Amino acid sequence: MKNYIVFSFSQNKKLAAKLASGLGCELGEISATTFADGEVLVKAISDVKDKDAIVIESTFNRVHERLFEFMLLLDSIHRSGARSIKLFIPYYGYSRQERVSYFNEPVSAEVISKIIETAHYDDIYAFDLHHTDISKFFSKPLINLPTSDLFVEYYGNIIKDNNIDKKDVVVISPDHGANQRADNVAAGLGVDKIILDKVRPEPNKAEHLALRGDVKGKTCIIIDDIVDTGGTIASAARLLYSHGATAVYLGASHAVFSGHCYTKLKEANIKDIVVTDSIEKKLPRAVKVLSLDKLIKKVI
Protein backbone atom coordinates (compact mmCIF):
# COMPACT_ATOMS: atom_id res chain seq x y z
CA MET A 1 0.00 0.00 0.00
CA LYS A 2 1.39 3.37 -0.99
CA ASN A 3 1.88 5.93 1.76
CA TYR A 4 1.50 9.21 -0.14
CA ILE A 5 2.33 12.78 0.82
CA VAL A 6 1.73 15.68 -1.58
CA PHE A 7 3.82 18.85 -1.88
CA SER A 8 3.61 22.08 -3.83
CA PHE A 9 5.83 25.03 -3.02
CA SER A 10 4.03 28.00 -4.59
CA GLN A 11 2.57 27.40 -8.05
CA ASN A 12 -0.01 24.64 -7.59
CA LYS A 13 -1.12 24.82 -3.97
CA LYS A 14 -4.83 24.41 -4.73
CA LEU A 15 -4.24 21.48 -7.06
CA ALA A 16 -1.98 19.80 -4.50
CA ALA A 17 -4.57 20.25 -1.75
CA LYS A 18 -7.30 18.84 -3.98
CA LEU A 19 -5.17 15.83 -4.88
CA ALA A 20 -4.22 15.15 -1.25
CA SER A 21 -7.87 15.32 -0.25
CA GLY A 22 -8.87 12.95 -3.05
CA LEU A 23 -6.16 10.48 -2.09
CA GLY A 24 -6.93 10.81 1.61
CA CYS A 25 -3.29 11.59 2.34
CA GLU A 26 -1.22 14.29 4.00
CA LEU A 27 -0.53 17.66 2.36
CA GLY A 28 3.13 18.31 3.07
CA GLU A 29 4.38 21.44 4.79
CA ILE A 30 7.34 23.39 3.43
CA SER A 31 9.63 25.99 4.97
CA ALA A 32 11.23 28.73 2.85
CA THR A 33 13.81 31.21 4.09
CA THR A 34 15.37 34.08 2.17
CA PHE A 35 18.68 35.29 3.57
CA ALA A 36 20.06 38.83 3.54
CA ASP A 37 22.20 38.12 0.48
CA GLY A 38 19.22 36.81 -1.50
CA GLU A 39 19.99 33.10 -1.13
CA VAL A 40 17.07 30.81 -0.30
CA LEU A 41 16.63 27.69 1.80
CA VAL A 42 13.68 25.45 0.95
CA LYS A 43 12.93 22.29 2.90
CA ALA A 44 10.15 19.88 3.75
CA ILE A 45 8.90 20.24 7.33
CA SER A 46 6.62 17.21 7.22
CA ASP A 47 8.09 13.79 7.93
CA VAL A 48 8.67 12.01 4.61
CA LYS A 49 10.67 9.01 5.78
CA ASP A 50 9.52 5.87 3.93
CA LYS A 51 6.68 7.83 2.27
CA ASP A 52 5.87 8.15 -1.44
CA ALA A 53 6.17 11.84 -2.21
CA ILE A 54 4.27 13.61 -4.97
CA VAL A 55 5.63 17.05 -5.90
CA ILE A 56 3.47 19.29 -8.10
CA GLU A 57 5.07 22.50 -9.32
CA SER A 58 4.57 24.41 -12.56
CA THR A 59 7.47 26.50 -13.80
CA PHE A 60 5.56 29.72 -14.38
CA ASN A 61 6.06 33.32 -13.24
CA ARG A 62 9.82 34.01 -12.91
CA VAL A 63 10.58 30.53 -14.17
CA HIS A 64 14.24 30.43 -13.10
CA GLU A 65 13.24 31.03 -9.46
CA ARG A 66 10.51 28.39 -9.57
CA LEU A 67 12.96 25.85 -10.97
CA PHE A 68 15.53 26.45 -8.25
CA GLU A 69 12.90 26.31 -5.50
CA PHE A 70 11.55 22.90 -6.44
CA MET A 71 15.07 21.57 -7.07
CA LEU A 72 15.92 22.38 -3.46
CA LEU A 73 12.63 20.89 -2.28
CA LEU A 74 13.31 17.65 -4.16
CA ASP A 75 16.75 17.40 -2.58
CA SER A 76 15.28 17.97 0.88
CA ILE A 77 12.64 15.26 0.37
CA HIS A 78 15.21 12.81 -0.98
CA ARG A 79 17.71 13.38 1.83
CA SER A 80 14.94 13.07 4.41
CA GLY A 81 14.31 9.45 3.46
CA ALA A 82 11.34 9.46 1.07
CA ARG A 83 10.75 6.02 -0.46
CA SER A 84 9.91 7.46 -3.88
CA ILE A 85 9.34 10.84 -5.56
CA LYS A 86 6.98 11.56 -8.45
CA LEU A 87 7.44 15.02 -9.94
CA PHE A 88 4.59 16.66 -11.85
CA ILE A 89 5.27 19.86 -13.79
CA PRO A 90 1.76 20.75 -15.04
CA TYR A 91 3.07 23.70 -17.06
CA TYR A 92 6.62 23.33 -18.36
CA GLY A 93 8.19 26.78 -18.71
CA TYR A 94 10.44 27.48 -21.71
CA SER A 95 8.52 24.85 -23.69
CA ARG A 96 8.21 27.23 -26.64
CA GLN A 97 11.99 27.41 -26.92
CA GLU A 98 12.49 23.81 -28.05
CA ARG A 99 14.52 24.56 -31.20
CA VAL A 100 16.80 27.12 -32.80
CA SER A 101 14.65 29.57 -34.75
CA TYR A 102 17.19 32.31 -35.36
CA PHE A 103 20.98 32.57 -35.51
CA ASN A 104 22.85 32.04 -32.21
CA GLU A 105 19.75 31.09 -30.18
CA PRO A 106 19.99 28.45 -27.43
CA VAL A 107 17.59 25.52 -27.17
CA SER A 108 16.37 26.68 -23.79
CA ALA A 109 13.95 23.80 -23.23
CA GLU A 110 16.84 21.34 -23.48
CA VAL A 111 19.00 23.40 -21.11
CA ILE A 112 16.18 23.32 -18.56
CA SER A 113 15.84 19.55 -18.95
CA LYS A 114 19.51 19.02 -18.11
CA ILE A 115 19.16 21.17 -15.01
CA ILE A 116 16.09 19.28 -13.80
CA GLU A 117 17.82 15.94 -14.33
CA THR A 118 20.38 16.79 -11.63
CA ALA A 119 17.57 16.60 -9.06
CA HIS A 120 16.37 13.49 -7.21
CA TYR A 121 13.10 11.99 -8.48
CA ASP A 122 11.87 8.63 -9.74
CA ASP A 123 9.35 9.71 -12.38
CA ILE A 124 8.59 13.03 -14.05
CA TYR A 125 5.43 14.16 -15.82
CA ALA A 126 4.07 17.20 -17.63
CA PHE A 127 0.78 17.99 -19.35
CA ASP A 128 0.39 18.89 -23.02
CA LEU A 129 3.97 19.88 -23.74
CA HIS A 130 4.17 22.51 -26.45
CA HIS A 131 6.33 20.12 -28.45
CA THR A 132 6.70 16.39 -27.84
CA ASP A 133 10.46 16.53 -28.60
CA ILE A 134 10.99 18.08 -25.16
CA SER A 135 10.53 14.69 -23.50
CA LYS A 136 13.45 13.39 -25.57
CA PHE A 137 15.79 15.94 -23.99
CA PHE A 138 15.69 13.87 -20.80
CA SER A 139 17.82 10.72 -20.49
CA LYS A 140 14.87 9.25 -18.58
CA PRO A 141 12.06 10.74 -20.68
CA LEU A 142 9.57 13.14 -19.23
CA ILE A 143 6.11 11.59 -19.66
CA ASN A 144 3.80 13.92 -21.57
CA LEU A 145 0.22 13.46 -20.33
CA PRO A 146 -2.71 14.62 -22.51
CA THR A 147 -5.60 16.64 -21.12
CA SER A 148 -7.92 15.67 -23.98
CA ASP A 149 -10.27 13.60 -21.79
CA LEU A 150 -11.12 16.65 -19.68
CA PHE A 151 -12.13 18.67 -22.73
CA VAL A 152 -14.03 15.79 -24.32
CA GLU A 153 -16.12 15.46 -21.17
CA TYR A 154 -16.65 19.24 -20.90
CA TYR A 155 -17.70 19.80 -24.50
CA GLY A 156 -19.67 16.57 -24.59
CA ASN A 157 -21.84 17.98 -21.80
CA ILE A 158 -22.23 21.31 -23.61
CA ILE A 159 -23.34 19.54 -26.79
CA LYS A 160 -25.82 17.39 -24.85
CA ASP A 161 -27.18 20.14 -22.59
CA ASN A 162 -27.74 22.53 -25.50
CA ASN A 163 -29.14 19.89 -27.88
CA ILE A 164 -26.47 20.67 -30.47
CA ASP A 165 -26.31 18.28 -33.40
CA LYS A 166 -22.79 16.85 -33.69
CA LYS A 167 -22.82 17.34 -37.44
CA ASP A 168 -22.95 21.08 -36.69
CA VAL A 169 -19.84 20.96 -34.47
CA VAL A 170 -16.24 21.17 -35.66
CA VAL A 171 -13.01 21.18 -33.66
CA ILE A 172 -10.46 23.75 -34.80
CA SER A 173 -6.68 23.43 -34.59
CA PRO A 174 -5.32 27.02 -34.70
CA ASP A 175 -2.03 25.81 -36.19
CA HIS A 176 -0.15 22.61 -37.01
CA GLY A 177 1.41 22.46 -33.53
CA ALA A 178 -2.01 21.95 -31.93
CA ASN A 179 -3.09 19.37 -34.49
CA GLN A 180 -2.72 16.23 -32.34
CA ARG A 181 -4.59 17.74 -29.39
CA ALA A 182 -7.41 18.81 -31.70
CA ASP A 183 -7.47 15.32 -33.26
CA ASN A 184 -7.86 13.74 -29.83
CA VAL A 185 -10.76 15.98 -28.83
CA ALA A 186 -12.49 15.64 -32.21
CA ALA A 187 -12.21 11.85 -32.05
CA GLY A 188 -13.50 11.78 -28.49
CA LEU A 189 -16.52 13.90 -29.41
CA GLY A 190 -17.11 12.15 -32.72
CA VAL A 191 -16.99 15.37 -34.77
CA ASP A 192 -14.93 16.75 -37.65
CA LYS A 193 -11.70 18.72 -37.33
CA ILE A 194 -10.29 21.61 -39.34
CA ILE A 195 -6.77 23.05 -39.21
CA LEU A 196 -5.86 26.67 -39.86
CA ASP A 197 -2.76 27.79 -41.77
CA LYS A 198 -0.75 30.42 -39.94
CA VAL A 199 2.29 32.59 -40.47
CA ARG A 200 3.88 34.41 -37.54
CA PRO A 201 5.55 37.66 -38.70
CA GLU A 202 7.23 38.28 -35.32
CA PRO A 203 7.15 36.91 -31.74
CA ASN A 204 3.75 37.12 -29.99
CA LYS A 205 1.99 38.13 -33.21
CA ALA A 206 0.13 35.73 -35.48
CA GLU A 207 -1.80 36.10 -38.69
CA HIS A 208 -4.13 33.41 -39.99
CA LEU A 209 -4.17 33.20 -43.73
CA ALA A 210 -6.38 30.30 -44.72
CA LEU A 211 -9.16 28.03 -43.51
CA ARG A 212 -9.16 24.45 -44.77
CA GLY A 213 -12.80 23.46 -44.55
CA ASP A 214 -16.35 24.73 -44.21
CA VAL A 215 -17.53 26.27 -40.92
CA LYS A 216 -20.67 28.00 -42.17
CA GLY A 217 -23.44 27.44 -39.64
CA LYS A 218 -21.08 25.49 -37.36
CA THR A 219 -20.24 25.66 -33.67
CA CYS A 220 -16.43 25.83 -33.62
CA ILE A 221 -14.32 24.59 -30.72
CA ILE A 222 -10.74 25.87 -30.81
CA ILE A 223 -8.34 23.53 -29.00
CA ASP A 224 -4.86 24.80 -28.10
CA ASP A 225 -2.19 24.19 -25.48
CA ILE A 226 -0.91 27.63 -24.44
CA VAL A 227 -2.88 30.86 -24.59
CA ASP A 228 -0.48 33.72 -23.88
CA THR A 229 -1.27 37.12 -25.39
CA GLY A 230 -4.44 35.86 -27.06
CA GLY A 231 -3.44 37.13 -30.51
CA THR A 232 -3.50 33.75 -32.23
CA ILE A 233 -6.88 32.75 -30.82
CA ALA A 234 -8.53 36.13 -31.44
CA SER A 235 -7.31 36.03 -35.03
CA ALA A 236 -8.65 32.49 -35.43
CA ALA A 237 -12.06 33.44 -34.02
CA ARG A 238 -12.41 36.41 -36.36
CA LEU A 239 -11.49 34.21 -39.32
CA LEU A 240 -14.07 31.58 -38.33
CA TYR A 241 -16.83 34.14 -37.92
CA SER A 242 -15.95 35.72 -41.26
CA HIS A 243 -16.57 32.30 -42.84
CA GLY A 244 -20.00 31.89 -41.25
CA ALA A 245 -19.38 30.19 -37.89
CA THR A 246 -22.34 30.63 -35.54
CA ALA A 247 -20.33 30.32 -32.29
CA VAL A 248 -16.70 29.95 -31.25
CA TYR A 249 -15.57 28.18 -28.07
CA LEU A 250 -12.02 27.96 -26.68
CA GLY A 251 -10.43 25.10 -24.75
CA ALA A 252 -6.80 25.58 -23.70
CA SER A 253 -4.50 23.53 -21.49
CA HIS A 254 -2.40 26.38 -20.07
CA ALA A 255 -3.82 29.80 -19.24
CA VAL A 256 -0.76 32.05 -19.36
CA PHE A 257 -3.09 34.97 -20.21
CA SER A 258 -0.49 37.75 -20.42
CA GLY A 259 -1.44 41.42 -20.56
CA HIS A 260 -4.84 42.10 -22.11
CA CYS A 261 -5.34 38.53 -23.33
CA TYR A 262 -8.85 38.08 -21.93
CA THR A 263 -10.02 41.39 -23.37
CA LYS A 264 -8.81 40.32 -26.82
CA LEU A 265 -10.67 37.04 -26.54
CA LYS A 266 -13.93 38.70 -25.49
CA GLU A 267 -13.63 41.31 -28.23
CA ALA A 268 -13.25 38.43 -30.70
CA ASN A 269 -16.69 37.21 -29.50
CA ILE A 270 -15.52 33.89 -28.09
CA LYS A 271 -18.61 32.46 -26.43
CA ASP A 272 -17.01 30.22 -23.81
CA ILE A 273 -13.46 29.81 -22.46
CA VAL A 274 -12.26 26.79 -20.48
CA VAL A 275 -8.73 26.03 -19.24
CA THR A 276 -7.04 23.65 -16.78
CA ASP A 277 -5.54 24.52 -13.41
CA SER A 278 -1.98 23.84 -14.60
CA ILE A 279 -1.35 27.53 -13.89
CA GLU A 280 -2.94 28.97 -10.77
CA LYS A 281 -3.66 32.65 -11.24
CA LYS A 282 -6.60 35.01 -10.88
CA LEU A 283 -8.82 34.66 -13.93
CA PRO A 284 -12.10 36.38 -14.87
CA ARG A 285 -15.14 34.60 -13.43
CA ALA A 286 -16.37 33.76 -16.92
CA VAL A 287 -13.35 31.51 -17.53
CA LYS A 288 -14.11 27.91 -16.56
CA VAL A 289 -11.33 25.83 -14.95
CA LEU A 290 -10.95 22.04 -15.21
CA SER A 291 -8.79 20.35 -12.59
CA LEU A 292 -5.91 18.04 -13.44
CA ASP A 293 -6.32 16.11 -10.19
CA LYS A 294 -8.35 13.35 -11.90
CA LEU A 295 -5.62 12.77 -14.45
CA ILE A 296 -2.89 12.76 -11.80
CA LYS A 297 -4.81 10.21 -9.72
CA LYS A 298 -5.04 7.93 -12.76
CA VAL A 299 -1.26 8.02 -13.11
CA ILE A 300 -0.40 7.30 -9.48
Q: What is the pLDDT of residues 63-81, one digit of tens each?
A: 888 899 999 999 999 999 9
Q: Among 122-126, 188-192, 210-214, which is the least confidently predicted range?
A: 210-214
CATH number of 148-291: 3.40.50.2020
Residue 198 annotated to the active site: yes
Q: Where are the domains of the chain?
A: 4-145, 148-291
Same fold flag, 4-145 and 148-291: yes
**pLDDT (tens digit per residue) in 256-287:** 999 999 999 999 999 999 999 999 999 999 99
Other C-beta atoms closer than 10 Å to the C-beta of 5 total: 22
pLDDT band at residue 291, thresholds of 50, 70 and 90? very high
Write down the catalytic residue from 18, 193, 198, 264. 198
Tell me the mean pLDDT in the region 194-200.
Answer: 76
4-145 CATH choice from 3.30.450.40, 3.40.50.2020, 3.50.50.100, 3.40.50.2000: 3.40.50.2020
pLDDT of residue 205: 60
Average pLDDT over residues 37-52: 96
Specify the pTM.
0.92
Q: Decide if pLDDT at 104 tops 80.
A: yes
Q: What is the pLDDT of residue 208?
A: 47
